[in-house]
Amino acid sequence: MCDTTYPGTREVFILVVELPPSTSTTVDGNGSSGDQRRAELADFLRRRRASLRPDDVGLPNGGRRRTPGLRREEVALLAGVGTTWYTWLEQGRDVRASLDVLEALARALRLTPAERTHLVLLGRGEEPPPCKPTAERVSPTLRRLIENLGANPAYVLGRRSDYLAYNRAACAVFGDFDRLPPGTRNHLWLHFMDPRRRELFADWDRSARLLVAKFRADSARHLGDPEFEQLIGALRRSSPEFCKLWKRHEVARAGAGRKEILHPVVGKLVFEHAVFNPAEAPEQRLILYSPIPEHDTPAKLARLIEQHGAETAR
pLDDT number for residue 62? 64
Q: Write out the CATH class of domain 31-124.
A: mainly alpha
Looking only at Cα atoms, what is the longest distance across the chain? 82
Poorest-confidence range of 97-101, 162-166, 262-266? 97-101
The answer to whether the beta carbons of residues 169 and 305 sit under 8 Å apart is: yes
- 43-98 pLDDT, tens digit per residue, is 999 999 999 888 788 787 766 777 778 999 999 999 999 999 899 999 999 888 88
Spatial distance between the Cα atoms of 97 and 89, rounded to a whole number of angstroms: 8
Q: So where are the chain's domains?
A: 31-124, 140-313
Is the fold of 31-124 the same as that of 140-313?
no
pLDDT at residue 147 is higher than 90: yes
Poorest-confidence range of 10-24, 209-223, 285-299? 10-24
Q: Alpha carbon of 65 to those of 55, 69, 108: distances in Å?
A: 13, 9, 20
- 167-211 pLDDT, tens digit per residue, is 999 999 999 999 998 889 999 999 999 999 999 998 899 999 999
Q: Which fold has domain 140-313?
A: Beta-Lactamase (3.30.450)
Spatial distance between the Cα atoms of 134 and 5, rounded to a whole number of angstroms: 11
CA quadruple 42, 47, 50, 52: dihedral sign? negative
Chain centroid, CA 265 distance in Å: 36
